[in-house]
Amino acid sequence: MRPLVVLPTYNEILNVELMLRTLREVVPECHVLVVDDGSPDGTGARAHAVGAELGHIEVLERSRKGGLGRAYRAGFAWGLERDFDHFVEMDCDFSHDPRALPGLLAAAKEYEVVIGSRYVRGGHIPNWAYSRHLLSRGGNQYASLVLGLKVADSTSGFRVYSASALDKIGYADVTAEGYGFQIEMTYRARNAGASIIEVPITFKDRQRGESKMSRAIVVEALGLVTEWAIERQWRRVRYGARRVRNR
Protein backbone atom coordinates (compact mmCIF):
# COMPACT_ATOMS: atom_id res chain seq x y z
CA MET A 1 0.00 0.00 0.00
CA ARG A 2 1.27 3.49 -0.91
CA PRO A 3 -1.12 5.93 0.81
CA LEU A 4 -1.23 9.70 0.44
CA VAL A 5 -3.04 11.84 3.01
CA VAL A 6 -4.58 14.82 1.20
CA LEU A 7 -5.03 17.60 3.74
CA PRO A 8 -6.86 20.71 2.50
CA THR A 9 -6.14 23.81 4.57
CA TYR A 10 -7.40 27.33 4.75
CA ASN A 11 -6.20 29.40 7.72
CA GLU A 12 -5.19 26.44 9.85
CA ILE A 13 -2.03 27.97 11.37
CA LEU A 14 -3.16 26.88 14.84
CA ASN A 15 -3.55 23.24 13.75
CA VAL A 16 -1.31 22.39 10.82
CA GLU A 17 1.99 21.75 12.59
CA LEU A 18 0.50 19.54 15.29
CA MET A 19 -1.53 17.68 12.66
CA LEU A 20 1.55 16.94 10.53
CA ARG A 21 3.57 15.80 13.54
CA THR A 22 0.72 13.61 14.80
CA LEU A 23 0.27 12.04 11.37
CA ARG A 24 3.97 11.21 11.21
CA GLU A 25 3.72 9.59 14.62
CA VAL A 26 0.60 7.50 13.99
CA VAL A 27 0.93 6.67 10.28
CA PRO A 28 4.65 6.98 9.46
CA GLU A 29 4.09 5.04 6.22
CA CYS A 30 1.86 7.81 4.79
CA HIS A 31 3.05 10.66 2.61
CA VAL A 32 1.10 13.88 3.15
CA LEU A 33 0.02 16.50 0.64
CA VAL A 34 -1.17 19.76 2.18
CA VAL A 35 -3.40 21.58 -0.32
CA ASP A 36 -3.35 25.19 0.84
CA ASP A 37 -5.43 27.86 -0.85
CA GLY A 38 -3.10 30.79 -0.19
CA SER A 39 -4.07 31.05 3.49
CA PRO A 40 -3.37 34.63 4.62
CA ASP A 41 -2.34 33.35 8.07
CA GLY A 42 0.76 31.59 6.70
CA THR A 43 -0.46 27.97 6.94
CA GLY A 44 1.33 27.08 3.67
CA ALA A 45 4.71 28.39 4.85
CA ARG A 46 4.39 26.57 8.18
CA ALA A 47 3.52 23.32 6.39
CA HIS A 48 6.60 23.79 4.15
CA ALA A 49 8.83 24.26 7.18
CA VAL A 50 7.50 21.18 8.97
CA GLY A 51 7.75 19.21 5.71
CA ALA A 52 11.41 20.23 5.29
CA GLU A 53 12.08 18.93 8.79
CA LEU A 54 10.09 15.67 8.68
CA GLY A 55 10.24 14.73 4.98
CA HIS A 56 7.54 13.05 2.85
CA ILE A 57 5.32 16.11 3.26
CA GLU A 58 4.59 18.27 0.23
CA VAL A 59 2.57 21.47 -0.10
CA LEU A 60 0.42 22.19 -3.13
CA GLU A 61 -0.02 25.94 -3.07
CA ARG A 62 -3.02 27.40 -4.82
CA SER A 63 -3.50 31.09 -5.25
CA ARG A 64 -6.93 31.62 -3.69
CA LYS A 65 -9.71 29.98 -1.71
CA GLY A 66 -11.49 27.70 -4.14
CA GLY A 67 -13.47 25.32 -1.91
CA LEU A 68 -12.91 21.84 -0.57
CA GLY A 69 -13.93 19.95 -3.71
CA ARG A 70 -11.45 21.78 -5.89
CA ALA A 71 -8.66 21.28 -3.36
CA TYR A 72 -9.32 17.52 -3.24
CA ARG A 73 -9.53 17.16 -7.01
CA ALA A 74 -6.15 18.89 -7.36
CA GLY A 75 -4.70 16.72 -4.59
CA PHE A 76 -5.96 13.47 -6.14
CA ALA A 77 -4.55 14.44 -9.55
CA TRP A 78 -1.18 15.25 -7.95
CA GLY A 79 -1.06 11.89 -6.18
CA LEU A 80 -2.27 9.77 -9.10
CA GLU A 81 0.49 11.25 -11.27
CA ARG A 82 2.96 10.04 -8.65
CA ASP A 83 1.51 6.52 -8.40
CA PHE A 84 0.01 6.67 -4.93
CA ASP A 85 -2.56 3.90 -4.63
CA HIS A 86 -4.70 5.10 -1.70
CA PHE A 87 -5.94 8.57 -0.86
CA VAL A 88 -6.98 9.73 2.59
CA GLU A 89 -9.36 12.66 2.93
CA MET A 90 -9.39 14.43 6.27
CA ASP A 91 -9.87 17.85 7.83
CA CYS A 92 -6.95 19.66 9.45
CA ASP A 93 -8.91 20.86 12.50
CA PHE A 94 -8.74 17.60 14.55
CA SER A 95 -12.46 16.94 14.05
CA HIS A 96 -11.10 13.81 12.41
CA ASP A 97 -8.82 12.07 14.87
CA PRO A 98 -5.59 11.07 13.10
CA ARG A 99 -5.36 8.18 15.56
CA ALA A 100 -8.36 6.59 13.83
CA LEU A 101 -6.45 6.43 10.54
CA PRO A 102 -4.75 3.04 10.99
CA GLY A 103 -8.23 1.49 11.34
CA LEU A 104 -9.51 3.16 8.18
CA LEU A 105 -6.37 2.14 6.25
CA ALA A 106 -6.78 -1.46 7.43
CA ALA A 107 -10.34 -1.48 6.05
CA ALA A 108 -9.01 -0.02 2.77
CA LYS A 109 -7.15 -3.29 2.16
CA GLU A 110 -10.56 -4.88 1.50
CA TYR A 111 -12.79 -2.05 0.31
CA GLU A 112 -12.32 0.57 -2.39
CA VAL A 113 -14.08 3.29 -0.41
CA VAL A 114 -13.84 3.54 3.38
CA ILE A 115 -16.02 6.13 5.09
CA GLY A 116 -15.34 7.18 8.68
CA SER A 117 -18.94 7.28 9.83
CA ARG A 118 -20.67 9.10 12.68
CA TYR A 119 -23.97 7.34 12.06
CA VAL A 120 -23.19 3.64 12.26
CA ARG A 121 -23.12 1.69 15.52
CA GLY A 122 -20.09 2.87 17.53
CA GLY A 123 -19.92 6.29 15.85
CA HIS A 124 -20.16 9.40 18.07
CA ILE A 125 -20.40 13.18 17.99
CA PRO A 126 -19.87 14.09 21.64
CA ASN A 127 -20.36 17.85 21.61
CA TRP A 128 -22.80 19.02 18.98
CA ALA A 129 -25.88 21.11 19.72
CA TYR A 130 -29.18 19.36 19.00
CA SER A 131 -29.86 21.68 16.03
CA ARG A 132 -26.59 20.72 14.32
CA HIS A 133 -27.29 17.02 14.92
CA LEU A 134 -30.70 17.44 13.37
CA LEU A 135 -29.35 19.21 10.28
CA SER A 136 -26.55 16.71 9.69
CA ARG A 137 -28.57 13.57 10.43
CA GLY A 138 -31.60 14.83 8.51
CA GLY A 139 -29.47 15.83 5.50
CA ASN A 140 -27.80 12.42 5.48
CA GLN A 141 -31.08 10.53 5.72
CA TYR A 142 -32.57 12.63 2.92
CA ALA A 143 -29.57 12.05 0.62
CA SER A 144 -29.49 8.34 1.37
CA LEU A 145 -33.20 7.91 0.75
CA VAL A 146 -33.59 9.89 -2.47
CA LEU A 147 -30.31 8.74 -4.03
CA GLY A 148 -30.39 5.11 -2.83
CA LEU A 149 -26.91 5.49 -1.32
CA LYS A 150 -27.20 2.85 1.43
CA VAL A 151 -24.66 4.94 3.36
CA ALA A 152 -25.50 6.42 6.77
CA ASP A 153 -22.92 9.25 6.69
CA SER A 154 -22.45 10.41 3.11
CA THR A 155 -21.33 13.90 4.20
CA SER A 156 -18.40 12.59 6.21
CA GLY A 157 -15.07 13.97 5.03
CA PHE A 158 -12.88 11.35 6.72
CA ARG A 159 -12.31 8.70 4.08
CA VAL A 160 -9.94 6.48 2.14
CA TYR A 161 -10.31 5.93 -1.61
CA SER A 162 -8.32 3.45 -3.64
CA ALA A 163 -6.91 4.75 -6.92
CA SER A 164 -9.26 2.32 -8.70
CA ALA A 165 -12.25 3.89 -6.92
CA LEU A 166 -11.20 7.40 -7.98
CA ASP A 167 -10.94 6.12 -11.53
CA LYS A 168 -14.41 4.50 -11.43
CA ILE A 169 -15.90 7.60 -9.83
CA GLY A 170 -14.44 9.87 -12.50
CA TYR A 171 -13.46 12.25 -9.68
CA ALA A 172 -12.24 14.97 -12.04
CA ASP A 173 -15.82 15.56 -13.27
CA VAL A 174 -17.29 15.94 -9.79
CA THR A 175 -18.79 19.40 -9.62
CA ALA A 176 -19.85 20.01 -5.99
CA GLU A 177 -17.61 21.86 -3.58
CA GLY A 178 -18.74 21.62 0.06
CA TYR A 179 -20.65 18.77 1.75
CA GLY A 180 -22.11 18.19 -1.71
CA PHE A 181 -18.66 17.04 -2.82
CA GLN A 182 -18.68 14.16 -0.32
CA ILE A 183 -22.23 13.19 -1.29
CA GLU A 184 -21.48 13.34 -5.03
CA MET A 185 -18.37 11.17 -4.59
CA THR A 186 -20.47 8.63 -2.62
CA TYR A 187 -23.27 8.65 -5.21
CA ARG A 188 -20.86 8.12 -8.07
CA ALA A 189 -18.96 5.41 -6.17
CA ARG A 190 -22.24 3.58 -5.50
CA ASN A 191 -23.38 3.89 -9.13
CA ALA A 192 -20.00 2.71 -10.41
CA GLY A 193 -20.24 -0.43 -8.27
CA ALA A 194 -17.26 0.40 -6.03
CA SER A 195 -17.13 -1.54 -2.73
CA ILE A 196 -17.97 0.77 0.18
CA ILE A 197 -17.72 0.27 3.94
CA GLU A 198 -18.49 2.58 6.85
CA VAL A 199 -16.20 2.40 9.89
CA PRO A 200 -17.39 4.11 13.11
CA ILE A 201 -15.56 7.28 14.16
CA THR A 202 -15.87 9.89 16.89
CA PHE A 203 -16.19 13.37 15.39
CA LYS A 204 -15.08 16.19 17.71
CA ASP A 205 -15.71 19.89 17.20
CA ARG A 206 -12.68 21.92 16.22
CA GLN A 207 -10.85 23.29 19.30
CA ARG A 208 -8.71 25.92 17.53
CA GLY A 209 -9.25 28.18 14.52
CA GLU A 210 -12.38 29.16 12.65
CA SER A 211 -14.89 27.00 10.82
CA LYS A 212 -15.35 27.65 7.09
CA MET A 213 -18.79 26.03 7.09
CA SER A 214 -21.39 28.36 5.62
CA ARG A 215 -25.06 28.47 4.81
CA ALA A 216 -24.08 28.46 1.11
CA ILE A 217 -22.39 25.07 1.53
CA VAL A 218 -25.53 23.54 3.06
CA VAL A 219 -27.76 25.09 0.40
CA GLU A 220 -25.45 23.83 -2.36
CA ALA A 221 -25.62 20.28 -0.99
CA LEU A 222 -29.41 20.24 -0.57
CA GLY A 223 -29.95 21.71 -4.04
CA LEU A 224 -27.61 19.25 -5.74
CA VAL A 225 -29.05 16.20 -3.96
CA THR A 226 -32.54 17.23 -5.02
CA GLU A 227 -31.36 17.80 -8.60
CA TRP A 228 -29.66 14.36 -8.76
CA ALA A 229 -32.74 12.71 -7.19
CA ILE A 230 -35.04 14.19 -9.82
CA GLU A 231 -32.67 13.14 -12.59
CA ARG A 232 -32.49 9.63 -11.09
CA GLN A 233 -36.27 9.30 -10.93
CA TRP A 234 -36.60 10.56 -14.47
CA ARG A 235 -34.13 7.93 -15.70
CA ARG A 236 -36.02 5.26 -13.75
CA VAL A 237 -39.22 6.19 -15.52
CA ARG A 238 -37.52 6.52 -18.90
CA TYR A 239 -35.16 3.54 -18.89
CA GLY A 240 -36.05 1.33 -15.89
CA ALA A 241 -34.03 0.78 -12.72
CA ARG A 242 -31.01 -1.00 -14.29
CA ARG A 243 -29.89 1.92 -16.45
CA VAL A 244 -30.05 4.28 -13.47
CA ARG A 245 -26.86 2.74 -12.09
CA ASN A 246 -24.89 3.81 -15.17
CA ARG A 247 -24.82 7.51 -14.40
Ligand X SMILES: Nc1nc2c(ncn2[C@@H]2O[C@H](COP(=O)(O)OP(=O)(O)OP(=O)(O)O)[C@@H](O)[C@H]2O)c(=O)[nH]1
| CB-nearest residue to ligand X | 211
Do the strands 159-162 and 86-89 form a parallel or antiparallel pair, or are they unpaired?
A: antiparallel
In sign, the C-alpha dihedral spanning 165, 229, 201, 173 is positive
Residue 69 to residue 67: CA distance in whole angstroms:
6
CB nearer to ligand X: give 3 or 157.
157
Count Cβ atoms below 10 Å from residue 48 Cβ, excluding itself. 17
When asked if residue 15 is in the footprint of Mg ion (CB under 5 A), the reply is: no
When asked if residue 153 is in the footprint of Mg ion (CB under 5 A), the reply is: no
Q: Which of 39, 43, 95, 155 binds Mg ion (CB under 5 A)?
A: 95
Q: Which of 37, 89, 93, 184 binds Mg ion (CB under 5 A)?
A: 93
Residues contributing to the site for ligand X (CB under 6 A): 8-10, 12, 35-37, 65-68, 71, 91-93, 95, 206, 211-213
Residue 142 to residue 145: CA distance in whole angstroms:
5
Q: Which stretch binds Mg ion (CB under 5 A): 22-30, 84-92, 132-140, 160-168?
A: 84-92
- Provide the minimum distance between the beta carbon of 151 and ligand X in the complex, in angstroms, as a whole number: 18
Count Cβ atoms below 10 Å from residue 27 Cβ, excluding itself. 19
Instruction: Find which of Mg ion, ligand X, none residue 65 binds, CB within 5 to 8 Å per kind.
Output: ligand X
Q: Site size for Mg ion, by CB under 5 A? A: 4
Residue 102 to residue 121: CA distance in whole angstroms:
19
